[in-house]
Amino acid sequence: MSTFDWVTQLIYVLAASCFVFGLHLMNNPATARRGNQASTAGMAIAIATTLAIVIHLGGISVTGWIVMLAGALLGAGAGLYSARTVQMTAMPQLVSMFNAVGGGAAALVAVHDYMHAGATVSATTSVTTLLDVIIGAVTFSGSLIAAGKLQGVINSAPVTFPGARIVNLGLAAVAIGLGAYLIAAPSTALLGIVIIAALAFGVSMVMPIGGADMPVVISLLNAFTGTAVAMAGFVIGNWALIIAGALVGASGSILTKLMADAMNRSIGNIIVGGFGTGDAAPAIAGPGGSVHSIAADDAAIQLAYASKVIIVPGYGLAAAQAQHEVAALADLLESRGVEVSYAIHPVAGRMPGHMNVLLAEANVPYPQLREMDDINPEFARADVALVIGANDVTNPAARRPGTAISGMPILDVDQAKSIIVIKRSMGHGYAGIDNELYVDPKTSMYFADAKKALTDLASAVKTLVG
């Protein structure tokens, strides 16, 4: 091993340390920005080192330089533009696109290596090469479909057809079976078929998954991308890729598990799909009772004279893009001395932690954004719980067995002294069952679009108690 190899390898270790340290600093919102800077520095070092290696290796043609630099500049420009212009509500789509290109690039690294090595490739290298190609291709097409569903370009409802599961299994079998055969008998043409089967599997895997399951799907695809990048590291023998890929794989796996737990579903159940079609869960009758609706003025008075208000934002708030309106109402209440906090369920929004970003964008200070386990004991002390576009995650039916959501962790909204629910209609949530919270005598329903309701509430507070 030459001195050059020693130095570059040590620099890669330094870069990898920066990634770990950067992630470590993300355990607190106060230090998270420094974490991102540490990680960026690590990446800059790693890329500069790679450039030095490319020069040191020599043998790169002029065309090679041109395609590499042109590709990198084009990609960097596109990445920079989308990162600067993306709306915070569209973050899940962007993350999905980055998963897609990351997985795609990892697969291409292996494809090139395989074609370059030809028949001389060793069996152990073949295994990681094929894993990289298959996982990378599945991530690429699956993430594109997920982004399309999130953007509304592709039907976000579960898209399925008779025998879809057979097709799914068939494609997986072709990709894996043929991949295994290729380890024994290398063939570039057959590799093409493996790629096509893996791409098709990515599509058929994500199509039947409904929009509400997206937090799990994005996390899972994130874990896949990480794994694909780690495999690319095995293929080209680069530890920086292995370490970085493993870190991302770990992060994606943790988030996938957290999201699935918060939705009370197993990962397998989500991937198999079919849930959320509306007919999957027969409604189990709750205790019954009548619904009490409320007008803006009465709701405003309740809020203005409360000493503690907990706001429960749900997917409906994000869909109505009412994060700025809710923050304005909260500011108004706080200026009257009301203590306001936000109770955030883990699956509020369309990706892990999405609601926090939306509220942070609306200038809500993060100490007010409280996690479920942290805020649940405080509901009993709240004068008003204001539920905006959240449904299943507030349903007390989850506490007893025998319902579609039994066992799902919920926010203890029903413990508050009074409850105001802003909702467009009595329609069911994602689980398709009645919400027992709505018939609670303490609950008042305010039927309106979240954005309009919050604006009306704020102006009613101003007029009535100015």
Partner 1 sequence: MSYPALLVDVTIFVLSLWVGFEVISKVPATLHTPLMSAANSIHGIVLAGAMLIAVTAHNTIGYIIAFVAAAFAAANVVGGYVVTGRMLKMFRKRPAVPPPAATHAVEAASNGRPKDGSA
Identify any residues that bridge with 339 across adjacent strands, giving them in sequence order. 308
Query: Contact between 124 and partner 1 (CB under 8 A)?
Result: yes
Confirm or reject binding of residue 277 to partner 1 (CB under 8 A): no
Residue placing its CB nearer to partner 1 in the complex, 172 or 191: 191
If binding is defined by CB under 8 A, does position 465 make contact with partner 1? no
Q: What are phi and psi of 87, to 5 degrees?
A: -75, 145
Q: How many CA atoms lie within 13 A of 140 on its CB side?
A: 22
- Widest Cα–Cα separation across the chain: 81
Q: Which is nearer to partner 1, 59 or 282 (CB)?
A: 59
- Is 382 within 8 Å of 376 (Cβ atoms)? no
**Which residues, numbered 28-47, are part of the site for partner 1 (CB under 8 A)?**
28-30, 32-33, 35-37, 39-40, 43, 46-47
Nearest to partner 1 of 30, 285 (CB atom): 30
Among the residue ranges 97-105, 203-211, 275-283, 424-432, the one whose residues contact partner 1 (CB under 8 A): 97-105
Q: Specify the residue, 61 or 425, whose C-beta has the smaller distance to partner 1.
A: 61
Tally Cβ neighbours within 10 Å of residue 83: 10
Q: Which is nearer to partner 1, 8 or 391 (CB)?
A: 8
Q: Which of residues 285-324 bind partner 1 (CB under 8 A)?
A: 307-308
Question: Using the rule CB under 8 A, is 222 a contact of partner 1?
Answer: yes
Site membership for partner 1, residue 451 (CB under 8 A)? no
**Whether 301 contacts 444, CB under 8 Å:** no
Looking at the Cβ atoms of 222 and 403, the one nearer to partner 1 is 222
Q: Which residue has the tokens 């791409």?
A: 199
Contact present, 461 and 333 (Cβ < 8 Å): yes
Q: Which of 2, 3, 27, 290 binds partner 1 (CB under 8 A)?
A: 27
The residue among 53 and 164 lying less far from partner 1, judged by its C-beta, is 53
Q: Considering the rule CB under 8 A, would residue 115 count as an interface residue with partner 1?
A: yes
**Going edge to edge, which strands form the sheet with 339-344?**
369-371, 339-344, 308-313, 384-388, 418-423, 443-447
Catalytic residue (one of 132, 392, 414, 434): 392
Residues 358-387 that bind partner 1 (CB under 8 A): 360-361, 363-367, 369, 371-372, 381
Question: Can you name the residues that pair with 420 across neighbouring β-strands?
Answer: 386, 444
Among 154, 164, 203, 236, binds partner 1 (CB under 8 A): 236
Establish whether 456 is a catalytic residue. Answer: no
Q: Which is nearer to partner 1, 211 or 352 (CB)?
A: 352
When asked if residue 119 is in the footprint of partner 1 (CB under 8 A), the reply is: no
What is the rounded CA–CA span in Å between residue 49 and residue 53?
6
Give the residue, chosen from 202, 208, 211, 233, that forms a contact with partner 1 under the rule CB under 8 A: 233
Expressed in percent and rounded to 5, the helix, strand and coil fractions of the chain are 65, 5, 25
Query: Residues in contact with partner 1, total (CB under 8 A)?
Result: 131
**DSSP string of 91-144?**
HHHHHHHHHHHHHHHHHHHHHHHHHHHGGG--HHHHHHHHHHHHHHHHHHHHHH
Confirm if 309 and 384 have CB atoms less than 8 A apart.
Answer: yes
Residues 319-358, interacting with partner 1 (CB under 8 A): 331, 334-339, 344, 346, 349, 351-354, 356-357
Q: Please choose, out of 101-109, 177-185, 195-203, 292-300, the segment that lies near partner 1 by the rule CB under 8 A.
A: 101-109
Shortest Å distance, C-beta 424 to partner 1: 26
Compute CA distances 211 → 201, 259, 350, 356, 423, whole Å.
Answer: 19, 14, 8, 19, 19
CA 404 to chain centre: 23
CB of 415 to partner 1, least distance (A): 14
The smaller minimum CB distance to partner 1, of residues 331 and 449, is found at 331
The residues pairing with 419 across neighbouring beta strands, listed in sequence order, are 385, 443
- Least separation in angstroms between residue 431's CB and partner 1 is 21
108 binds partner 1 (CB under 8 A): yes
Q: Give me the long-range contacts of 423-428 (CB less than 8 A, separation at least 24).
A: 423/316, 423/387, 423/389, 423/391, 423/447, 424/316, 424/448, 424/449, 424/450, 426/291, 428/283, 428/391
**220 is written with which tokens?**
């899972």
Options 89-97, 154-162, 388-396, 439-447: segment touching partner 1 (CB under 8 A):
89-97
By CB under 8 A, name the one of 11, 94, 131, 214 that touches partner 1.
94
CB of 174 to partner 1, least distance (A): 23
Query: Using CB under 8 A, which of 129, 156, 238, 391 touches partner 1?
Result: 238
Q: Which of 393, 334, 338, 336 is nearest to 364 (CA)?
A: 334
- The single residue among 175, 198, 205, 255 that binds partner 1, judged by CB under 8 A, is 255
Q: Please report, as residue ranges, which positions from 48 to 87 form the binding site for partner 1 (by CB under 8 A).
A: 50-51, 53-54, 57, 59-61, 63-65, 67-76, 78-80, 82-84, 86
| Catalytic positions | 392
